[in-house]
Structure 1
């Protein structure tokens, strides 16, 4: 992972930027037939032609803030119904056998980073903040916060996820629409989190504005974790768009962010970015596409051919060539093991590969923390 403290003169992440089917609520959706819509976080003009097409979802890019959205996506009402009732979507986060593992390995590091940043920003505050986790899923992050003795509450639309949190963690999540929550209905939150949430909604900025409103300009912080377009996962999914499983997906991830667009989203919500954290699952995504999907076993697969396509897309995304050496090392190792079919010897290469993406700020997830603009220090 790569943790970046944004200095005062670099508060605008634009300075850091390098140029730049599916089943829902029990119904099969023909995404090719969905109506195209204009949508950007800054109000700019989007491209007419898609920048990337995944499972038929056509992602258009704003020419100003570089944000991407799926042009032929679901309506707001359809999305809401999907998240309320979808057992299939909730299953991603509600495996009881892996619940504590997810708390320990995923949720707890996020909670620790969040609290460290909050204390860095508000070191004069003696009491730890009340936390409001929006889109709490199965309650893993809420559980991690409680284990750290933080006061925390979670909001979640998915009924299957709410049941999971109650049954597994004995945590009561509130089944409410965040945009409709009043200040009287929450416990004076000083820290509001969106872990993989705002990419799912039609209006990400509205969610951030609501968070800012609830903070009431008192010492507080907003954290949002979003998919990063300029990433290793994007490269491999552009190479193999019909087998993408996570990261870019036209039903759930209607928004894909860049450093510039998540920064612009915060600014539109009157939130000043202060800290960024880069971590992802790019190495896992590459492994999945090559090993799980069986491509590396194909007779016509070649390391040079793969790397030629990989580097072409990498360069188009403005990602430095440092990651290519690590990728080539993994692919070469996998190719040497394909006759035996036992790829376990290559697993130890994945952490080093992921670190290369994280250090290039090319991991598939960006977490941005910020404070209400009136709080600028």
Structure 2
């Protein structure tokens, strides 16, 4: 849909006026609305409608990008503004080259903090979009990320992890492949954005030895960021960054937390903490303990500041019959179910319980113990918010 000629039109005065016109349409009735746009703008209609819809979609992810241009795949992989700004702060004062700059989201944050910044990409359409999006404030050029064009810069790479709308899970299938990126920039200061589900254990075999940072925003783990040795903090191999709370945690901190029965509260740690393997470190920092040494649920008598927790009202050996009886006693009709370590489908369980009460409630179902001593427990709780 998007080619250089189309981008040229969209960035022209005529295209800008057309986009402003279409922005006033609801575009909820795709057939009727697109027909109306086609009647007025002819063959330009698909690109105009797609750009309008992508701008609306981008509003939840990017700040001040209302006039930007996107492709659907580029927007899917674009770094959320808060995440890009966090990374840019870590690179404050450095000369930075974004070697896979795409439509310019990372460059937009880096231009504020970096001593100098340049972007490059192989896709000429995305480069032209980046020039428009950044209003020419950052130099961009066409180049292969695997053919270095800068020296003495920090290199940022964000390999594509989608093809034809499908995710790629093996980092050797990224574009460019992660092992190739690591090999080409070995010995350079390098930052690589990866999917949060990447196999950390395999990174060493691919040539990475540095810090892995897991970043969460609005309750979702957004990415795993690889920081090469020269950029990693001393003694840190794993980091969890919780942007919503302005909290960071690393594996250089103490992890001496205990294991014990549930206290007043159960805490389900942020996904970045869990994914980074820092559950014990988080517990030690906040005076919590584990319910089981192999399960991520924590407990304590006080909640960490700003954290949503679950106040324990009742505890029982898990069975659907026992759980339903307990919930009937609390007049529960709306139920949130959290599960770890037990083979339970929350949605299917909720349907089978057939609750008809008037109160809201949360249930935490988890395994406690191992081997023959393992047992499934259910905690009936009231969420703090």
TM over 0.5: no
The alignment's TM-score, normalised by the length of structure 2, stands at 0.34
Q: Decide which structure has greater helix share.
A: 1
The alignment's TM-score, normalised by the length of structure 1, stands at 0.34
Q: Decide which structure has greater strand share.
A: 2
Look at both structures and tell me which one has the larger radius of gyration over its CA atoms: 2
Higher relative contact order (Cα pairs below 8 Å, separated by 6+ residues) = 1
